[in-house]
Amino acid sequence: MKCMVKAFGITREIAGAKEVVVELPEGSTVSDFKTELFSQFPRLSALTSLFIAVNQAYAEDHQVLKPEDEIALIPPVAGG
C-alpha cells in the first residue's frame, strides 16, 4: 500500500518535500512504517523526538495502518 505522509518543520527539510510516499505491505504497523521511513530518510532517525500522527491523533507503534490513513510527521518543537 502507498502511504501519503505529510512532513512539517525539520522533517520537511530532511525529506525534501511537504509530502512523501512510503510503500508498505498491507497490515503494516506504525513501527513498520518508521522502519521504512528511516530507511528512506536516515537523518530522521537522529531527531530526538519524532511523533507519528495517524488521522490527526498521536499513534502507537502497534497501530495497524490502512491505505486511506492520513499520516503526519510531528517534529520536535521549541518554544518559550
The answer to whether residue 68 is domain-embedded is yes
Task: Report pTM.
Answer: 0.90
pLDDT of residue 79: 56
pLDDT of residue 61: 96
Q: Divide the 80 residues of the chain into consecutive groups of 10 and give the mean pLDDT of each group.
A: 94 95 96 96 92 96 95 79
CA contacts within 13 A on the Cβ side of 73: 30
pLDDT of residue 77: 73
pLDDT of residue 78: 60
Cell of 77: 518543537
The answer to whether residue 7 is domain-embedded is yes
Spatial contact of 65 and 33, defined as CB atoms under 8 Å apart: yes
pLDDT of residue 80: 53
CA 27 from centroid of its chain's CA atoms: 16
Burial code (b: 16+ CB inside 10 Å, e: under 16) for 27-55 equals ebbbebbbeebeeebeebeeeeebebbbe
Q: What is the CATH number of the domain that holds 39?
A: 3.10.20.30
Q: Count the domains in the chain.
A: 1
The answer to whether residue 80 is domain-embedded is no
